[in-house]
Amino acid sequence: MASILIVDDHPAIRRALRLAFERQPGFTVCGEAEDGFDAIGKAKKLAPDLIVLDLRMPVMDGLEAAREIKKLFPQIPLMMLTCYHSSAAEKEARASGITAVFSKPDGMQNLIWQARAMLMAC
């Protein structure tokens, strides 16, 4: 069972991601965080198998959090969610340690499929 940490400042998005992952076999959501700073603390406490980060959040955004998490846990794959997917944002995300970038409007199934593929590759 792969454990997922969901990081987004919007409770409705966190809830939708939780439901999407928990409806799939082989996934469990071990925790949620509302910003990048909270994500770092939860990653230390929960040691998830995968972290899904929102790009834009208050306190600490997903890119800052990704850089810090990668220093602490280089083995944990990171996935970035954004409302505004662009090649520049994707390039910056990958430079921060993000493995995959997804646009929120693209739907959850692609995200779930990619999460499963990333975890199988580890």
- For residue range 8-54, list pLDDT tens digits in order: 999 999 999 999 999 999 999 999 999 999 999 999 999 999 999 99
Identify whether the C-beta of residue 82 lies closer than 8 Å to the C-beta of residue 102. Answer: yes
Q: Which residues of 61-100 are buried (b: 16+ CB within 10 A; e: fewer)?
A: bbbbbbebbeeebeebbbbbbbeebeeebbebbeebbbbb
Identify whether the C-beta of residue 99 lies closer than 8 Å to the C-beta of residue 78. Answer: yes
Instruction: Over range 98-103, report the average pLDDT.
Output: 90
Domain count, the chain: 1
pTM, full prediction: 0.93
Select from 91, 120, 116, 89 the least CA-distant residue to 103. Answer: 89
* Token pair 């230390």: residue: 44
Q: What does DSSP say about strands 50-54 and 78-82: parallel, antiparallel, or unpaired?
A: parallel
CATH code of the domain covering residue 38: 3.40.50.2300
pLDDT at position 98 over 90? yes
Full domain range(s) for residue 6: 2-121
